[in-house]
Structure 1
Amino acid sequence: MRKEDCFYLGKIVSKFSFKGEVLVKLDTDEPALYENMESVFLALGRNLVPFFIEQSSLHKSDLLRIKFEEVDTEADAEAIMKTELYLPLEFLPKLSGNKFYFHEVIGFSIEDHQKGSIGTITAINDSTAQALFEVDRDGTEILIPMNDHFILKVDRENQKIVMDLPEGLIDLYID
Structure 2
Amino acid sequence: MNDFFLIAKVVSVSPKDGFIKLKLFTDHPEKLYTTKYVFIDFWGNKKKFFIEEILKRGETFLLRLKNFSTERELEVFVGRDLFLEQSELIPLSDNSFYIHDLIGCQVYCSEKYLGIVKDVLSTPANDVLEITGKHDEIKLLPFVLKFFDEINPEQKIIFVKEDSGICDDED
| Fold match by TM threshold 0.5 | yes
SS of residue in 2 equivalent to 1:24: strand
Match of 2:28 in 1: 30
Mark the runs of 5 or more structure 1 residues left unpaired by the alignment: none
Match of 2:44 in 1: 46
How many angstroms apart in 2 are the aligned matches of 1:142 and 1:55?
42
2:92 corresponds to which letter in structure 1? L
User: 1:37-76 to 2 correspondence within 5 Å?
Assistant: 37-61=35-59, 63-76=60-73
Cα offset, 1:19, TM superposition:
4.0
Match of 1:121 in 2: 116
How many angstroms apart in 1 are the aligned matches of 2:77 and 2:100?
26
How many angstroms apart in 2 are the aligned matches of 1:107 and 1:73?
41
Do the aligned partners of residues 147 and 122 (structure 1) sit closer, same or farther apart at CA in structure 2, a change above 3 Å counting? closer
Match of 1:95 in 2: 92
Equivalent pairs: percent with the same residue?
26
Assess if the C-alpha contact under 8 Å between 1:21 and 1:68 holds in 2. yes
How many angstroms apart in 2 are the aligned matches of 1:68 and 1:140?
43
Cα offset, 1:122, TM superposition:
4.6
Aligned length in residues: 167
Residue 171 of structure 2 corresponds to residue 147 of structure 1: no
Assess if the C-alpha contact under 8 Å between 1:142 and 1:170 holds in 2. no
Residue 14 of structure 2 corresponds to residue 16 of structure 1: yes
Mark the runs of 5 or more structure 2 residues left unpaired by the alignment: none
Report the aligned-residue RMSD.
2.9
Do the aligned partners of residues 6 and 13 (structure 1) sit closer, same or farther apart at CA in structure 2, a change above 3 Å counting? same
How many angstroms apart in 1 are the aligned matches of 2:170 and 2:30?
42
Do the aligned partners of residues 66 and 25 (structure 1) sit closer, same or farther apart at CA in structure 2, a change above 3 Å counting? same
Match of 2:74 in 1: 77
TM-score, L = length of structure 2: 0.77
Cα offset, 1:125, TM superposition:
5.1
